[in-house]
Amino acid sequence: MFIFFLYNYSMKTKEYTLLIDLDGTVYDKHNGMWEEMSTRIAEFMRAAVGIAEEDVVPTREKYYHQYGSSLRGLQIHHQVDTEEYLAYVHGMDLSKYLAPDPDLRYQLASIPYKKWIFTNSDRNHTQRVLEAIGIEDLFEGIMDVWTMHHIPKPESWTYRKARALAGNPDPKTILFVDDTLKNLIPPTKMGWQTVWIDPALSNPQVSFTVPRLHYLPNVIEQIEAQERLTRVPARKVQPVDLSLAMDFSI
């Protein structure tokens, strides 16, 4: 006799919390948008900050590796106007790079857990991107550079702050998605489950790797399947009364 176990969401014993990065995660990082943002960062550093042309690239690299973002380094060393910087860097025509993505919307909407955007970008840029893709209503809220007081991922404090804002869920029930590997290492060490968005590579330092955010339901399915396996009770073995067994020695 075969017994079929029908699983539905009302039978879950855990509620997961999804924290999802923005740029390069909710859209293809190779669509040309980052290249324009990078150009605009360099322009701002030259025109508004006064950094010499030949020093722009090494200065950006230094700030990125030392502080996690160009903005943070510019704030510390040049006291830039944060709003002016963000407005200029993100002031591009998004229609050149983004369009409604009904498939991504369907996939994200199929996941019955609370979802947050957790990004080093600012709220205005985040809302514009989400609206351009058509997924702005699928999230509980936005944790942005202002929320984090300009402290970017991968600083450990930002993950503790994000967890608190999400209601302090059990770290094992947090699923964090990002396209930048170094941003995934601290939360992995904190016990979070992590998903790296990368079309070609995988890494043992993260929990899962998928080529696009569209595959996130597959990750959820794997996690839930493992949870169900751990919930299957061990079968109780009844003792056998050997006095009732037939004697085949005759």
Task: Identify the CATH number of the domain defined by range 33-89.
Answer: 1.10.150.450
Residue type, 233: P
Q: How far is CA 225 from CA 14, 168, 195, 222, in A?
A: 12, 24, 17, 5
Does residue 117 contact residue 142 with C-beta atoms inside 8 Å?
yes
Q: Model pTM?
A: 0.84
Q: Which pLDDT belongs to residue 13? A: 52
- Model confidence over 95-116: pLDDT tens digits? 999 999 999 999 999 999 999 9
Q: Which pLDDT belongs to residue 4? A: 31
Domain ranges of the chain: 9-28+99-231, 33-89
Q: Which pLDDT belongs to residue 40? A: 96
Does residue 19 contact residue 158 with C-beta atoms inside 8 Å?
no
Q: Which pLDDT belongs to residue 228? A: 83
Q: Which pLDDT belongs to residue 237? A: 46
Strand order in the sheet with 141-143: 141-143, 114-118, 17-20, 174-178, 193-197, 208-210
Q: Which pLDDT belongs to residue 202? A: 85
Q: Which pLDDT belongs to residue 183? A: 96
- Model confidence over 125-136: pLDDT tens digits? 999 999 999 999
**For the chain, which ranges sit under pLDDT 50?**
1-11, 234, 237, 239-250
Q: How many CB atoms lie within 10 A of CB 85?
A: 22
Q: What angle do CA 70, 72, 73 make, to 5 degrees?
A: 65
Q: Which pLDDT belongs to residue 230? A: 77
Same fold, 9-28+99-231 and 33-89: no
Q: Which pLDDT belongs to residue 250? A: 40
The CATH number, out of the four listed (3.40.630.30, 3.40.50.1000, 3.40.50.300, 3.10.105.10), of the domain defined by the range 9-28+99-231: 3.40.50.1000
Does residue 62 contact residue 73 with C-beta atoms inside 8 Å?
yes
The pair of three-digit structure tokens given for residue 227, joined into one six-digit string: 């949870």
Q: How many CB atoms lie within 10 A of CB 220?
A: 20
Q: Which pLDDT belongs to residue 1? A: 33
Rounded to whole angstroms, the Cα distance separating 42 from 166 reads 35
